[in-house]
Homo-oligomer: A and B are copies of this chain.
């Protein structure tokens, strides 16, 4: 319960790795996968996804790889999690009503309050706060 996914963790590991290098040097999937003991194919998917979201930039071909494209200071954690994993919410019912309890549920509103607190908390931290 309340866990981050590997995809998010791998994304942050990769970003932190890239941030430790000079601005125009690139990092290949293999380099990062080896360095942090991450399954290559998974990391590949993860990096491709971040590239589509314009967080990082892909350089094709030999000597290619990825480098940071966005200003990490300007991406808060709530945005980042949503870019990487989709909608945030303690329960699915906030964005998808397919729940047996929905009609009778007596805790939907209260849980929305916790949810709002959680999202605010994530909004108050930038990706850079994590990768620095």
Quick check: which of A21-29, A32-40, A62-70 contacts chain B, the rest being far away?
A32-40
Question: In the complex this chain forms, how many copies of it are found?
Answer: 2
CB distance from A17 to the nearest CB of B (A): 7
Which of B38, B113, B118, B129 sits near A110, CB closer than 8 Å? Answer: B129
Give Cα distance in the complex from A103 to B38, angstroms: 12
CB distance from A123 to the nearest CB of B (A): 11
Contact B106 A130, beta carbon cutoff 8 Å: no
**Residues in chain B near residue A91, CB distance under 8 A:** 3-4, 9
**Residues in chain B near residue A5, CB distance under 8 A:** 1
Contact A107 B90, beta carbon cutoff 8 Å: no
Give Cα distance in the complex from A122 to B36, angstroms: 32
